[in-house]
Structure 1
Amino acid sequence: MSAVLDLPGRRILRAGPVSAVIPLRTVAITLLGLAATVAVAIAAVGHGDFPLGPETVWQVVTGGGTRIERHILLNLRLPRLLCGLLAGAALAVAGALTQTFARNPLASPDVLGVTHGAAAAAVGVIVLGGVSSTATLPLAALAGSLLSAAAIYLLAWRQGIDGYRLVLIGLGAGQLLAGFTSWMLVRAQQTDVTRANIWLSGSLAGRDWTHVRPLALALLVLLPAALAATLALRVLQFGEDTARGLGLRLPTAQLSVVIVAAALAAAAVSSAGPIEFVAFVVPQIALRLCGGSRPPLVASAVLGALLVIGCDLLARIVVAPAELPVGLLTAIVGTPYLLYLLLRRSWRTIA
């Protein structure tokens, strides 16, 4: 026995004892974001010194095309595109988890220092160990991200987690880790500094399938875990006392959200470098477009992927034939928004 109930902006599906609420506005924004992502992706793989039209791209994808067209698309441009898509989705979901967990729009892996922890560990492996393999960097970034997240979580714990205390401690930890990274670069060999700076720029240039595969495998595990964590986040957004009253095991739920968010950020950073402000800006954009009480995970993932590949395409156009790091353009987008949130908080305090 099934039934469909329509409410303003929502549709409720019932099949026996099981029911599901479908937010129509969120679904519409997600589908529009997917359509825009596909359009930008086609433009991105077609742009370059050897242009490829949409028909040529389709021929190559379906097994046709010339040898040089297949090489350019499958070995050079498609890995770069997929790395940007996956990294943008991972960072956006990590930001949505963190902001919902902290109940604070200023909270995100890059603002809280988690991304800086991953970057410091990866640079340490390159500079101190002389290693830059695709097998070692993801593990180092993951370890650095989890350690910094654990340290920030413990420092912010005072019979619970306050959102703005978490932000302040995260900002301080991020600056400390950034200073440590700079110190390592000053003492390093010139060749190691060059490799580290290329990675730190947050650029998608030179990405190949060895960068895509580990990131794709990580997301196959972490994205379902993030969706599962939304059950706890729905309760956590009402406050810790309410969550305890509803029977939620608060420390376990909070720790699981932190681990998943940190792992998503580490996976993205290890493959694409520290692309700034994606995790910070995209969840808030998705929240304002979709409405609701918390950033939607699926819509955030789609918009995060769209932002990264869109900025990467723009980075290859504005100073052609050279290109800018995609992290520079995402920082240009995110910095004014960060200042806006800080000023809005100050105005509310004064009022």
Structure 2
Amino acid sequence: MSAPTLRAPVREHTPVRPHLRAATRRPRRRRQRVIGGLVAALVAAFAVRVLLGDYTVTAPDFVRIVLGEQIPVATFIVMESKLPRAVLALLVGLALGSAGSLFQTLLRNPLASPDVIGVSMGASAAGVFALLVIGLRDGAVSVFAVVGAVVVSVVVRWVAGTTGGYRLVLVGVGMAAAMVSVVQYLFARSATYDVQLALRWLVGSVNNVPWATIGALAAALAVLLPLLVWLSRALPVLELGDDAAAGLGVGRHRTDVLLLVGVLLTSVAVAAAGPVSFVAFMAGPIARSLLGGRHSLLAGALVGAVLMLLADYVAAYLVPGVVLPVGVVTGAVGGPFLLWLLARGAAGGRAG
């Protein structure tokens, strides 16, 4: 008899590729749902801002007014108050939200927003200088604000060097404190009326902003946001760090160019509405929380726009008969949010 043939046991292999596909599809589907939800929230917030309030407007009447029909009282309220405030809040929110998300992603630090690292205060100090010392108004003040933000950001980047995001945040905090001192000195040597005028701009407000300023901001964003989308294709590589990015063929200059775009987004928003505090800071962490810890500049921009519209609605109708600057509301919410973020980080550090 012949010896029995030994056969190797047959192992059942679990297909790997379907599991990989499922693992990559889940974050993509979540991102699509989050973006869709944020777009719907943005449309709803915009509708609430322009249709509701102390003078309500129906949707059909709003459409007729926008198309040019004259409706007594309603046309004036919509075109001179409700609509410009809503459009400006939308644009400023998109600019600050995308800039804040960009800074936090690129520098790998949740505190690295334009509010914290001195960009907003640089624009503010330059704008206040133009208002109180030179006596400029409107568009000239906006130009000074943009230049001030760029100069301060260049100084912060130069002093911080290439040692990483945490040093840049520390240098930015110091520069922001220096800019606050400059503003306070200018207030101390100026007349009371001029100081009140500067304070209204310094708090951050979307009230009584002319359509020309809104159009200039829209034109700037029409250039900067597509540029940001194009440059951000290298963002996943840059998140690995300068050395790793350089090894993959992405130079440090791309980081500097992206930071410059973020500075310009912040500066044009500040030039149009003043330094609206904490919107850029809050948009990124909220967007990351919705996305399960993943970064998205689009989600950050949408969150910033929703925050601005809701904050402006609250500012307009929180106190009957008083229209508060939107910066008062965002500051009141952003301060506790910063403390909560710091406390959560400290708790996470102790747990680790």
TM over 0.5: yes
Aligned twin of 1:266: 267
Structure 1 residues 40 and 293, CA gap change in structure 2 (3 angstroms): closer
- In structure 1, what is the Cα distance between the partners aligned to 2:147 and 2:306? 28
2:242–2:251 Cα contact (<8 Å) kept: no
- In structure 1, what is the Cα distance between the partners aligned to 2:70 and 2:59? 12
Structure 1 residues 77 and 165, CA gap change in structure 2 (3 angstroms): same
1:29–1:289 Cα contact (<8 Å) kept: yes
Residue number among 175, 178, 181 corresponding to 1:176 in the alignment? 178
Aligned twin of 1:142: 146
Alpha-carbon deviation of 1:344?
Answer: 3.4
Count of residue pairs brought into register by the alignment: 333
Aligned twin of 2:339: 339
**1:58 is matched by which residue type in structure 2?**
V
Aligned twin of 2:3: none
Indicate the SS of the match to 1:7.
helix
Q: Does 1:224 align with 2:229?
A: no
Q: Does 1:253 align with 2:284?
A: no
- In structure 2, what is the Cα distance between the partners aligned to 1:63 and 1:249? 51
2:231–2:258 Cα contact (<8 Å) kept: yes
Structure 1 runs of 4+ aligned residues shifted over 4 Å read 9-12, 348-351
Indicate the SS of the match to 1:8.
helix
Q: Does 1:7 align with 2:47?
A: no
Indicate the SS of the match to 2:194.
helix
2:145–2:267 Cα contact (<8 Å) kept: yes
Deviation per CA, 1:114-154: give whole Å up to 9, x if none.
00000000010000011112x21221111000011111111
Aligned twin of 2:5: none
1:297-308 alignment, distance < 5 Å: 297-308=297-308
- In structure 2, what is the Cα distance between the partners aligned to 1:319 and 1:10? 48
Q: Return the index of the structure with the highest Cα Rg.
A: 2
1:9–1:23 Cα contact (<8 Å) kept: no
Alpha-carbon deviation of 1:49?
Answer: 4.3
Higher strand residue share = 1
Aligned twin of 2:41: 36
Where does structure 2 lack aligned partners over 5 or more consecutive residues? Answer: 1-18
Aligned twin of 1:155: 159
The percent of aligned pairs where both chains have the same amino acid is: 35
Structure 1 residues 56 and 183, CA gap change in structure 2 (3 angstroms): same
1:204-215 alignment, distance < 5 Å: 204-215=206-217
Q: How high is the TM-score relative to the length of structure 2?
A: 0.89
Indicate the SS of the match to 2:65.
helix
1:36–1:306 Cα contact (<8 Å) kept: yes
- In structure 1, what is the Cα distance between the partners aligned to 2:24 and 2:78? 41
Q: How high is the TM-score relative to the length of structure 1?
A: 0.89
Of residues 49-58 and 172-181 in structure 1, the stretch that sits farther from structure 2 once superposed is: 49-58
